[in-house]
Amino acid sequence: MTTDFRAYLRSLPVFAGELPRFDPDAAPDKPDDLFREWLVEAVEAGVREPHAMTLSTTASDGAPAARVLIVKNVDEHGWQFAAHDTSPKGRDLTAHRAAALTFYWPARARQVRVRGPVVPEPPERSAADFLARPPGSRAEASIGRQSQVLHDPADLDRAIKLARDRLDDQPSLVVPEWTLHTLRPAEVEFWQGDAGRRHTRLRYTRPNSTWQRDILWP
Ligand SMILES: Cc1cc2nc3c(=O)[nH]c(=O)nc-3n(C[C@H](O)[C@H](O)[C@H](O)COP(=O)(O)O)c2cc1C
Predicted model pTM = 0.96
Residue among 49, 55, 69 whose CB has most ligand 1 atoms within 8 A, to mutate? 69
Is 6 among the domain residues? no
* Alpha-carbon gap, residue 196 to 201, rounded angstroms: 14
Q: How far apart are CA 42 and CA 158, in angstroms?
A: 39
Residue 15, Cβ density class (10 Å: 0-12 exposed, 13-18 middle, ≥19 buried)? middle
Please tell me if the CB atom of residue 156 comes closer than 6 angstroms to any atom of ligand 1. Answer: no
Domain range enclosing 99: 21-134+175-216
Q: Does residue 25 fall inside a structural domain?
A: yes
Residue type, 209: S
Give yes or no for a contact between 80 and 181, defined as CB atoms under 8 angstroms apart: yes
CATH at 72: 2.30.110.10
pLDDT tens digits, 127-140: 999 999 999 999 99
| Cβ 55 vs Cβ 99: under 8 Å | yes
Residue nearest atom 29 of ligand 1, based on CA coordinates: 68
The parts of the chain modelled with pLDDT lower than 50 are none
Three-state DSSP at 64 gives strand
Express each pLDDT in 80-129 by its tens digit: 999 999 999 999 999 999 999 999 999 999 999 999 999 999 999 999 99
| Ligand 1 atom at minimum distance from 81 CA | 8
- The Cα–Cα gap between 189 and 79 comes to 14
30 lines ligand 1 (CB under 6 A): no
Q: Is 162 in the pocket of ligand 1 (CB under 6 A)?
A: no
**CA dist., res. 150 & res. 168, Å (int):** 25
Residue 2 lies in a domain: no
Ligand 1 atom nearest 70 alpha carbon: 8
Cβ of 49 closer than 6 Å to ligand 1, yes or no, is yes
- What is the percent of the chain with per-residue pLDDT over 90, rounded to a whole number? 96
Indicate the number of domains in the chain: 1
- Contact status, residue 74 vs residue 80, Cβ threshold 8 Å: yes
Residue 61 lies inside a defined structural domain of this protein: yes
Instruction: Return all residues near 14 (Cβ < 8 A) that are at least 6 apart.
Output: 193
